[in-house]
């Protein structure tokens, strides 16, 4: 086989965003930094291992950026106009699909213009992938912003091996059916040879939908397509680069950072930690309210315990996110102003993005990691904590509505809607018998040691090639 020319690739990832953000310093020099978020954290190591090309938007509206090399793979920027960012990205992706797929915890909006933009942007991504994929290449399409790409790409390039992975939950049928364009999205996804979900529940919802709302025949996890293909749907719970996080957390720099952090905080007895994108699905309001009541009632002593919450700024132009940001600012301010002590505030809240080393230092020192989404595809933060927390005395409080709860069964489980239950579990996790904590954390560690991001990608890609070979 001839060697691929530099402008084509045998392995492609297609995702809404590129894994890098552009930053321009005062002198006008351009550099690219890893962008935050679960999808990038997960797929970056996969790309470094496989090489190939990553097709995605570079984050600057109305600008065309040339293809370039980064960290051993090719970055292929797809341009978006200001209107498209508003309608396809902030609109249809993040104000229609995101809330709808997360149990409608915020009200999804349906606008026909947003749908039009979603279709035309999906077509642009499909055309770009079709242009640079080698004959018979593997193309791995990512997430809810690009659900039409598999079918569009198949029409352009039937020779390709097309996989799709949904990073967020696939909703129950009754919710999905609200979508005016439900048929088109279903057909879009079925263009893939393999459709991957975070949990068995997600793939079950999807297959049930195909069975009950299309004339297509479903054979266990395979949908028989009219063109003779099979489109297989299965769960592939995503994970992290466990060893990479552990090495980072054990590095001398991070250990020093952790010591410094402890000094700054005044060496409290118990550190509770939350790390989230600032998103209404993450249960931040519930979490902060629970701590407010615990500090208020004296069940947690502010001179002995602290709750650190860091929240990455996210989707700041979408209305619900602005409201959430204001709510949390207000809530934290009110709780902190209540405490009598003039020392450190009981809730240390930072609305900022941090480097991975700082996060690792925080995971190292956190006695209790608090992960309370109302609904979450997986939640990588829970796994990052387990990989980074070096000693056996840590505890993970985890919402039963995170995909991660299906695997991390020895966590202290909570229903974040049940405030009293959440409060008592937080107290229990902070003060439980050390032997019990050790038992739980060791079991959790075993899980993230054996289920890594490498294994996730290998499982998906092996299943994708196997299906194509049928
Ligand atoms: P997210 O909703 O972004 O991901 P999550 O899985 O928790 O959620 O990943 C967040 C990532 O951002 C983590 O790697 C975390 O370390 C990082 N991060 C969070 N806060 C940060 C901060 N303040 N500074 C810097 N980094 C920060 C989506 C889905 C999830 C799914 C992932 C992967 O919503 O359910 O687990 O994709 O599939």
Per residue in 174-219, pLDDT (tens digit) is 999 999 999 999 999 999 999 999 999 999 999 999 999 999 999 9
Could you tell me the distance, in angstroms and rounded to a whole number, from the CA of residue 214 to the centre of ligand 1?
Answer: 34
Per residue in 319-361, pLDDT (tens digit) is 899 999 999 999 999 999 987 666 789 999 999 999 999 999 9
Could you tell me the distance, in angstroms and rounded to a whole number, from the CA of residue 379 to the centre of ligand 1?
Answer: 7
End-to-end Cα distance, the chain: 23
pTM score, whole prediction = 0.95
Which residues line the pocket of ligand 1, CB cutoff 6 A?
36-39, 41-42, 167-168, 238, 275-277, 310, 312, 353-354, 359, 376-381, 384
Question: What CATH class has 6-238+454-469?
Answer: alpha beta
Could you tell me the distance, in angstroms and rounded to a whole number, from the CA of residue 380 to the centre of ligand 1?
Answer: 6
Q: To test the ligand 1 pocket, which listed residue (19, 38, 196, 281) has its Cβ within 8 A of the most ligand atoms?
A: 38
- Nearest-CA residue for ligand 1 atom 38 is 167
Question: What CATH class has 242-450?
Answer: alpha beta
CA distances from 202 to 13, 151, 465 (A): 22, 20, 22
Could you tell me the distance, in angstroms and rounded to a whole number, from the CA of residue 340 to the centre of ligand 1?
Answer: 35
Query: Is residue 404 within 8 Å of 376, Cβ to Cβ?
Result: yes
| Cα–Cα distance for residue pair 146/13, rounded to 1 Å | 12
The tokens describing 235, both together, are 């769960």
Could you tell me the distance, in angstroms and rounded to a whole number, from the CA of residue 7 to the centre of ligand 1?
Answer: 31
Q: Give the pLDDT score at 36.
A: 66
Q: Give the pLDDT score at 354.
A: 93
- Nearest-CA residue for ligand 1 atom 32 is 38
Q: Give the pLDDT score at 138.
A: 96
Beta strands in 236-323 (DSSP E): 270-277, 305-312
Which phi and psi angles does 224 have, rounded to 5°? -80, 115
| Cα–Cα distance for residue pair 198/267, rounded to 1 Å | 38
Q: Give the pLDDT score at 1.
A: 43
Among candidate residues 434, 379, 449, the one with its CA nearest the CA of residue 237: 379
| Cα–Cα distance for residue pair 463/179, rounded to 1 Å | 30
| Average confidence score pLDDT of the chain | 94
pLDDT tens series, the chain, 470 aa: 444 445 789 999 999 999 988 878 888 888 888 776 677 877 887 888 888 999 999 998 999 999 999 888 999 999 999 999 999 999 999 999 999 999 999 999 999 999 999 999 999 999 999 999 999 999 999 999 999 999 999 999 999 999 999 999 999 999 999 999 999 999 999 999 999 999 999 999 999 999 999 999 999 999 999 999 999 999 999 999 999 999 999 999 999 999 999 999 999 999 999 999 999 999 999 999 999 999 999 999 999 999 999 999 988 888 899 999 999 999 999 999 987 666 789 999 999 999 999 999 999 999 999 999 999 999 999 999 999 998 999 999 999 999 999 999 999 999 999 999 999 999 999 999 999 999 999 999 999 999 999 999 999 999 998 866 54
Q: Give the pLDDT score at 470.
A: 44
Could you tell me the distance, in angstroms and rounded to a whole number, from the CA of residue 146 to the centre of ligand 1?
Answer: 19
Please state the domain extents for the chain: 6-238+454-469, 242-450
Atom of ligand 1 nearest to the CA of 238: 38
Same CATH fold assignment for domains 6-238+454-469 and 242-450: yes
Atom of ligand 1 nearest to the CA of 282: 2
| Cα–Cα distance for residue pair 44/35, rounded to 1 Å | 10
């Amino acid at each position: 086989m001839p060697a691929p020319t530099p402008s084509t690739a045998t392995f492609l990832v297609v995702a809404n965003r590129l894994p890098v953000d552009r930053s321009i310093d005062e002198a006008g020099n351009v550099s690219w930094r890893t962008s935050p978020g679960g999808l990038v954290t997960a797929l970056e190591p996969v790309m470094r291992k496989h090489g190939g090309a990553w097709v995605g938007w570079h984050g600057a509206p109305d600008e065309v950026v040339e293809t370039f090399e980064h960290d051993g793979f090719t970055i292929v920027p797809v341009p978006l106009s200001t209107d498209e960012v508003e309608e396809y990205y902030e609109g249809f992706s993040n104000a229609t699909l995101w809330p709808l797929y997360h149990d409608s915890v915020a009200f999804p909006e349906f606008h026909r213009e947003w749908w039009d933009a979603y279709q035309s942007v999906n077509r642009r991504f499909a055309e770009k992938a079709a242009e640079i994929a080698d004959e018979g290449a593997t193309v791995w399409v990512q997430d809810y912003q690009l659900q039409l790409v598999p079918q569009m790409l198949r029409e352009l390039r039937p020779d390709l091996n097309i996989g799709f992975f949904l990073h967020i939950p696939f909703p129950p049928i009754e919710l999905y059916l609200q979508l005016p364009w439900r048929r088109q999205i279903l057909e879009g996804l079925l263009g893939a040879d393999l459709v991957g979900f975070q949990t068995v529940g997600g793939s079950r919802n999807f297959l049930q939908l195909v069975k009950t709302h299309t004339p297509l025949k479903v054979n266990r996890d395979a949908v028989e397509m009219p063109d003779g293909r099979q489109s297989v749907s299965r769960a592939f719970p995503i994970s992290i680069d466990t060893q990479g996080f552990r090495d980072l957390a054990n590095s001398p720099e991070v250990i020093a950072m952790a010591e410094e952090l402890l000094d700054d905080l005044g060496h409290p007895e118990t550190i509770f930690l939350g790390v989230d994108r600032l998103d209404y699905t993450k249960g931040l309001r519930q979490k902060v309210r629970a701590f407010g009541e615990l500090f208020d009632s004296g069940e947690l002593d502010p001179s002995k315990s602290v709750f650190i919450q860091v929240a990455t700024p996210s989707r700041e132009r979408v209305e619900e996110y602005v409201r959430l940001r204001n709510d949390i600012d207000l809530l934290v301010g009110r709780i902190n102003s209540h405490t009598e002590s003039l020392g450190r505030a009981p809730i240390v809240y930072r609305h900022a993005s941090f480097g991975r080393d700082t996060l690792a230092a925080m995971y190292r020192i956190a006695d209790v990691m608090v992960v309370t989404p109302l609904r979450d595809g997986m939640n990588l933060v829970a796994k990052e904590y387990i990989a980074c927390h070096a000693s056996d005395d840590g505890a993970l409080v985890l919402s039963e509505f995170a995909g991660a709860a299906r695997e991390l069964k020895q966590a202290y489980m909570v229903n974040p809607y049940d405030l009293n239950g959440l409060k008592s579990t937080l107290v229990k996790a902070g003060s439980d018998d050390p032997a019990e904590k050790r038992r739980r954390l060791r079991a959790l560690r075993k899980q993230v040691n054996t289920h890594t991001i490498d294994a996730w990608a290998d499982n998906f890609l092996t299943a994708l090639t196997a299906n194509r070979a049928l």
